[in-house]
Amino acid sequence: MNQQKVLIIVPCFNEEAVIKNTLQKLLWAKKQMKTFSVDICVVNDGSTDQTAQILDSYREEVVVIHLPCNLGIGGAMQTGYKYACKKGYDYAIQFDADGQHNEKDIQYILHYIDNQQLDMTIGSRFLKKTDYKGSPFRRAGILYFQFFIFVLTGRKITDATSGFRVINRKVIEKFSANYPKDYPEPEVIIDLVKNGYQVEEITVHMNQREGGETSISHIRSLYYMLKVSLSIFMRTIVKE
């Protein structure tokens, strides 16, 4: 039987301090896979440091896509989804470049979405008690989106901003055609749940950020939280 094809998409912006370590971990994880055929795609989102040069040294082992300018996390991820759609991958995994995600969880999250026949599986830091310690500001934002999603969908999602998630072929095609530009993680959960897609969380282990630059500052986070909330709310009203 042919192995199902999986693409690990790594959006990357100014991660020269950590990207080499992240790629080494992902290449190790790829070798452990027995039931899936795994490729790695790094989308360089207009980095201005040495990230591009480091990525180019890995071209024999990973797919590297250089964007001419910074599009943000939404644009970088949609680029990866378009590639996954074009190449016929069965699953696509979003995996952060900054060292927060645990490569040992990749096989676990893949088997879960495949066995449960889900459309999206989200790796959560908060389904069970863990030793992960985010900033108070970040935790407040996560709780805010947890409440917001519950109000709109009736579903409790404990870690709506998690960037560790896997989607199936049907959702790859959907995201390839249309994906939010700003703060996409909570927005796509609402879209999928309200349109009948099967979305679940599982517990994963996450580390503190190793380095690089976060794509969203505290001030921009507040702005995006309000912007995304209003945008989602208005679209929900219009559809209903």
Confidence class for position 226, pLDDT limits 50, 70, 90: confident
Tell the burial category of 22 from Cβ atoms under 10 Å away from its Cβ (0-12, 13-18, 19+). Answer: buried
Confidence class for position 28, pLDDT limits 50, 70, 90: very high
Domains, the chain, with CATH or none: 4-239 (3.90.550.10)
Q: Give the tokens for residue 159.
A: 């870690």
pLDDT of residue 119: 99
Confidence class for position 114, pLDDT limits 50, 70, 90: very high
Given the DSSP bridges, would you call strands 120-124 and 165-168 parallel, antiparallel or unpaired? antiparallel
Average pLDDT over residues 52-66: 98
Render pLDDT for 124-182 as a digit per residue (tens, 0 to 9).
998 886 565 566 666 777 888 899 999 989 999 999 999 999 999 999 999 999 998 87
Beta-carbon contacts of 72 under 8 Å, excluding residues fewer than 6 positions away, are 45, 181, 182, 215
* Sign of the torsion angle spanned by Cα atoms 136, 132, 38, 117: negative
Confidence class for position 220, pLDDT limits 50, 70, 90: low
More confident residue, 109 or 233: 109
DSSP result, 73-127:
HHHHHHHHHHHHHHHT-SEEEE--TTS-B-GGGHHHHHHHHHHHT-SEEEEESSS
Render pLDDT for 64-85 as a digit per residue (tens, 0 to 9).
999 999 999 999 999 999 999 9
Given the DSSP bridges, would you call strands 91-94 and 4-12 parallel, antiparallel or unpaired? parallel
Task: Give φ, ψ of 143 to 5 degrees.
Answer: -65, -35
Q: Rounded to whole angstroms, how far apart are CA atoms 174 and 172?
A: 5
Question: Partners of 40 in the beta sheet?
Answer: 8
